[in-house]
Amino acid sequence: MAGKKKFSLLVVSFFLFAVMTGSISGLLFAAYHDLPKLRGLKDYKPDVVTKIFSEDGKLLDELFRQKRIWVPYQSIPVNLRNALVATEDREFFEHKGIRFMSILRALIIDIRKGKMVQGGSTITQQLAKQLFLTSEKTIARKIKEALLAIQIEKRYTKEEILELYCNHIYLGSGAYGFEAAARTYFGKAINDISLGEAALLGGLPKAPNRYSPKNNLNLAIGRRATVLSGMREEGYISRELELATRSERVELAKSKKERGRAGYLVEMVRSELIKKYGAEKVYREGLSVTTTLNLDYQESAEKSMKEGIEKINKRLLRKKKLKAGQSAQGALVALRPQDGAILALVGGTGFSRSAFNRVTQARRQPGSAFKPFVYLAALDTGFTAADIVIDSPISYSESPGKRAWKPVNFSKRFYGPVTLRNALERSLNVATVKLLERVGVDSVIQMSRNLGIESELAPYLSLGLGASVVTPLELTSAYASIANGGVHAKPYFIRSVTTADGEILEESVPELTDAIRPEVAYTITKMLVGVVENGTGKVAKKLQRQVAAKTGTTNDYKDAWFAGFTPGIATGVWIGLDDNGSMGKGETGGHTAGPIWTRFMAEALQNRPAHDFTPPENIVVKSIDQHSGKLATPKCRDKINEVFIVGTEPLEYCRKETEDDGRI
């Protein structure tokens, strides 16, 4: 009887073993035929961060879906390698991809339970899962993982496998790979981390979000102790070093601020890259992008705008010109006239609050900041800065039945005969409209196009007073063309784009076109210097160097502009409300935008020597009576030195009554 029971038990055991063996064999067969194809891992490159730099190589921002910075095996510190092996896979350098007995033991338990409950994966298995499989917890997935690990081990060295693992694995807080993790948690390159930091990083793969020092520092320190203990047990470190490192304080990097370094320009770069190369290349292939931005200028621009807007908001609140939660807005852009490089760009009071880039997207009336283009067109057709225009009342009827348009000056006064210089310095509306009428609207539109303004310009006399809308970038680019001796340099902001392998995808070459004759550009420049010295741009006199600039203020104080340049930098500032509301009386270009412009330029120019504008060869300087525009005699009381293109200088001297009265 006992023999029969023993035999029956043996049969049942054999049957169970056969079933289990058959089940495992069936699973292995099914898994093998359903394995994904093993790609050439030597050529495999996961998503890598695209980096955007300033002109002098300072990091502005990074673009990524997975924040990863690839490092070769040789650059992975020995302490980190040892921490990983001691914690994740102590037999890594001995096994062939799997620890068979561990797998079998775990598999039997999983089959009995009908679900995944045991771990035991080697580093190679973890890599196989990350590269080729999902994270679903099934027995079939576990078998595939083991089979793939064996194949990987047959084809690649341990160093290649560990390099892939160290660069691919997710380590919490958005960091993929140990280089990104070292920078994220400690603000260091992986080569600079300490033993304690290596141990902390080495403990993350098990549960990156749980052991992230940013999420739970105490848990991370406890996990570090476990890793150090493993390293000591494996003989990588001594007991004394383990104890000393356990007490090492964890110094975490300060959290990176939300995109603050040139957020508006970084967004311009991102959009341009995607348009040229596609999102996949930008977010996956680790491009290196050098911009034209000067980070010192950019920080000065952001600071000047921030402090300027705060003062403006206080005034507007007192005037009750702001709604609840509303702020005045601004735009500032600085260009290098010689090549069009954007040196600084502020598209608003904060990219995180509003991504609308007012430098490139806001189209606003420039007001009197547009007037220099009328005077340029006049100078280009033979007028001089000393020619006379009559500033007196006038009206225009555009069509029958419509109310006549009567331009008036800001002061509500008329000044009679004035030179073109005086008219521009005082920003006289009536004199400018009369000059535009004589020059022709089409000539001014063509002049504006030559200088770089692309927005639609309405062919009416009100154009001369800045009635057509433009962007701050367009207006500043036009002023930069004057600063560059009449040569327009198309604005640009990407200097070069390079792949992760060092291949140059693009290198920018300045796009230069002749806009106006150098002598005409120099003449208007000297007239704009007069705007600063004697006219509406006096706020810029604080710079104590030669500056050419013009203010702009639109009807009902909706827009305030200040645009100008020195020989090496051109800058434009716009201030207004996004809803196109009035900022209230007194918010003029000189008073509202001027201080921001001046503060920025003061910081941008502080280490630059002062240079005057250099005249071209065919320029002469004559002493004239500033009221009549004629050559001055010794008796003239109001004399100035005026610049003329050779052959256009006056020949007649001022009359006796001018000498006596100082005016006509």
Q: What is the DSSP string of 230-275?
A: HHHHTTSS-HHHHHHHHTPPP-PPPPPPSS-SSHHHHHHHHHHHHH
Measuring CA to CA, how many Å separate 374 from each of 437, 439, 463, 639?
10, 8, 9, 25
Structure tokens at 67: 């924040």
In terms of Cβ atoms closer than 10 Å to its own Cβ (0-12, 13-18, 19+), residue 134 is exposed
CB atoms within 10 A of CB 6: 10
Q: Is the pLDDT assigned to residue 256 strictly greater than 60?
A: no
Could you say which DSSP state residue 96 is in?
S
pLDDT of residue 385: 97
CB 532, CB 587: distance < 8 Å: no
**Nearest alpha carbon to residue 84 among 176, 185, 180, 169:** 169
Q: Whole-model pTM?
A: 0.79
pLDDT of residue 663: 34
Task: Report whether pLDDT(7) > 50.
Answer: no
Give the list of residues 6+ apart from residue 252 with CB closer than 8 angstroms, or none.
185, 186, 213, 214, 217
pLDDT of residue 588 exceeding 50: yes
Least confident piece of the model among 131-145, 185-199, 273-287, 427-441: 131-145
Reported as half-sphere exposure (CB side, CA atoms, 13 A), residue 528 has a value of 35
- Please provide the distance, in angstroms rounded to a whole number, between the alpha carbons at the two ends of the chain: 143
The H or E element that residue 560 is part of is strand 559-566
In angstroms, rounded to a whole number, what is the distance separating the alpha carbons of residues 318 and 586?
Answer: 13
Q: Which two tokens stand for residue 519?
A: 């002598």
User: Which one of 23-27, 60-64, 422-426 scores highest in mean pLDDT?
Assistant: 422-426
- b (16+ CB within 10 A) / e for 365-396: bbbbbbbbbbbbbbbbeebbbbbbbebeebee
Q: What is residue 151's predicted lDDT score, i.e. its pLDDT?
A: 75
627-646 residue pLDDT tens: 899 999 988 878 999 999 99
pLDDT at 160: 85
For residue 661, the model assigns a pLDDT of: 40
What is the rounded CA–CA span in Å between residue 117 and residue 99? Answer: 17
CA dihedral of residues 379, 470, 306, 599 (deg, nearest 10): 0
pLDDT bin (cut points 50, 70, 90) of residue 137 is low
pLDDT exceeds cutoff 70 at 143: no
Q: What does the pLDDT read at residue 547?
A: 97
Judged against a pLDDT cut of 90, whether residue 259 lies above it is answered with no
Higher pLDDT, 459 or 399: 459
Q: In this model, does residue 334 exceed pLDDT 90?
A: yes
Confidence of residue 577 (pLDDT cuts 50, 70, 90): very high
10 Å Cβ neighbour count for 500? 17
pLDDT computed for residue 430 by the predictor: 97
Parallel/antiparallel/unpaired status of strands 175-176 and 67-68: parallel
Of all residues in the chain, the percent with pLDDT exceeding 70 is: 84
What is the overall mean pLDDT for the chain? 87
Confidence of residue 404 (pLDDT cuts 50, 70, 90): confident
| Whole-number pLDDT of residue 99 | 65
d(CA 474, CA 488): 11
pLDDT(107) > 80: no
Question: Binning pLDDT at 50, 70 and 90, where does residue 253 land?
Answer: confident
**Dist CA 323 CA 583 (whole Å):** 11
Q: What's the confidence (pLDDT) of residue 491?
A: 98
Q: Per-residue pLDDT averaged across 497-510, rounded?
A: 94
Q: Which of 173, 368, 462, 477 is catalytic?
A: 368
- The better pLDDT of the pair 112, 500 is held by 500
The yes-or-no answer on residue 88 being catalytic is: yes
Distance, CA of 127 to CA of 129 (rounded, Å): 5
Question: Residue 29 pLDDT more than 80?
Answer: no
The position carrying tokens 């190369």 is 277
Q: Compute the average pLDDT of residues 378-382.
A: 97
CA atoms of 583 and 132, how far apart (whole Å) = 60
How far CA 232 is from CA of 81, 122, 191, 224, 415, in Å, comes to: 14, 20, 22, 12, 92
The one catalytic residue among 54, 55, 88, 179: 88
pLDDT band at residue 651 using 50, 70 and 90 as cut-offs: very high
Residue 42 has what pLDDT?
57
Range in 29-33, 123-127, 497-501, 635-639 with the lowest mean pLDDT: 29-33
Q: Which of the residue ranges 112-126, 323-337, 469-483 would you say has the lowest mean pLDDT?
A: 112-126
The pLDDT-based confidence of 660 (bands split at 50, 70, 90) is very low
The type of residue at 545 is: R
Contact 562, 549 (CB under 8 A): yes
Alpha carbon distance 5, 267 (integer Å): 80
pLDDT of residue 380: 97
Asked if 183 and 69 touch (Cβ cutoff 8 Å), the reply is yes
Q: What is the model's pLDDT at position 662?
A: 35
What does residue 181 show for φ and ψ, rounded to 5 degrees? -65, -40
Distance CA(548)–CA(529), nearest Å, equals: 4
Residue-level pLDDT at 487: 98
Q: What crossing angle do the helices spanning 371-380 and 429-439 adopt, rounded to 10°?
A: 40
Q: What is the pLDDT of residue 145?
A: 67
pLDDT of 176 reads 86
- pLDDT at residue 399, as a whole number: 62
Please report which helix (H) or strand (E) contains residue 639, including its range: strand 639-645
Residues 6+ apart with CB under 8 A from 239: 232
Closest C-alpha to 162, from 229, 77, 67, 220: 77
What percent of the chain is predicted at pLDDT more than 90? 67
Whether 343 shows a pLDDT value over 60: the answer reads yes
Q: Quick one: pLDDT band at residue 37, thresholds 50, 70, 90?
A: low
How many alpha carbons fall within 13 Å on the CB side of residue 333?
A: 30
* Separation CA 422–CA 386 (nearest Å): 9
* Alpha carbon distance 252, 544 (integer Å): 46
pLDDT bracket for residue 257 (50, 70, 90) = very low
